[in-house]
Each structure stands twice: as structure tokens, then as C-alpha cells.
């Protein structure tokens, strides 16, 4: 996915080898946990959203600060928002699944 590798590297720099506090507050439709992640008192989602390294998926989280942090990064055109037409990860995954199905 475009910008995915850069975002992954940013997240690894932030979290790798450190003690994490993961607060699970839900489950999405595929059974994966939805959680807040803290590392040494730093809120990982805040850092990633403000750097333009993540999307706010409002279907699972309605917190206004998440939308505000994403909008701030969009306005500054940083991270994935530097692209003229960033693709939503859920659309990118859906497109990949559909393409894989056509090969079978």
C-alpha cells in the first residue's frame, strides 16, 4: 500500500523494544482487537495521526480528537497526506481481495 512501509517504519521506531500498555476496548468485524496503545506514556495513535502515518477509521472510533489530529496532518500535507490522492487502507485491501478472487 502506498506509504504503508514508511508508516510501519515510523511505528516501529516509536514502539520497538519498549514496554507497551494496550487497552483493548472492542473488536472489529473480523475478530481483531481494537485498542489504544501507549508506550512510555506516549499515545501511539496520536503520534501516528499527527505525523500523517495513519488514518482515523471513524467506523470504529468516533473520538473527535482523532479526527482533529488527522485533519491537522491533512492541512499540513505531511506523511500520507503529501500524496495528491491517498488511498484509504480499507479500500486498498478490498481492491486487493477482489483482484485475488479473479485469479481463482
Q: If pLDDT is split at 50, 70 and 90, which confidence band does 53 have?
A: very high
pLDDT in tens, 66-98: 999 999 999 999 999 999 888 888 888 887 777
**By residue range, what is the domain housing residue 75?**
4-102
Answer yes or no: are the C-beta atoms of 69 and 47 closer than 8 Å: no
Cell 472489529 appears where? Answer: 28
Answer yes or no: are the C-beta atoms of 37 and 61 closer than 8 Å: no
CB neighbour list of residue 86: distance below 8 Å, 6 or more residues apart? 2, 3, 80
Question: Is the pLDDT at 103 greater than 70, yes or no?
Answer: no
Whole-structure pTM value: 0.84
Answer yes or no: are the C-beta atoms of 61 and 70 closer than 8 Å: no
Q: Which residues pair with 37 in a beta bridge?
A: 22
Look at residues 10, 67, 64, 72 and name the one whose alpha carbon lies nearest to residue 42. 10
Tell me the CATH number at 47: 2.40.50.90
Structural domain total, the chain:
1
pLDDT at 87: 84
d(CA 47, CA 15): 11
Amino acid at each position: 500500500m502506498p506509504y504503508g512501509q514508511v508508516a510501519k517504519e515510523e511505528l516501529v521506531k516509536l514502539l520497538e523494544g519498549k514496554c507497551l500498555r494496550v487497552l483493548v476496548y472492542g473488536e472489529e468485524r473480523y475478530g481483531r482487537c481494537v485498542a489504544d496503545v501507549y508506550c512510555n506514556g506516549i499515545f501511539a495513535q496520536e503520534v501516528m495521526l499527527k505525523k500523517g502515518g495513519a488514518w482515523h477509521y471513524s467506523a470504529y472510533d468516533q473520538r473527535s480528537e482523532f479526527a482533529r489530529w488527522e485533519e491537522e496532518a491533512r492541512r499540513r500535507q505531511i506523511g500520507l497526506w503529501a500524496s495528491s490522492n491517498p488511498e484509504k487502507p480499507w479500500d486498498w485491501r478490498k481492491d486487493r481481495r477482489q483482484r485475488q478472487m479473479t485469479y481463482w
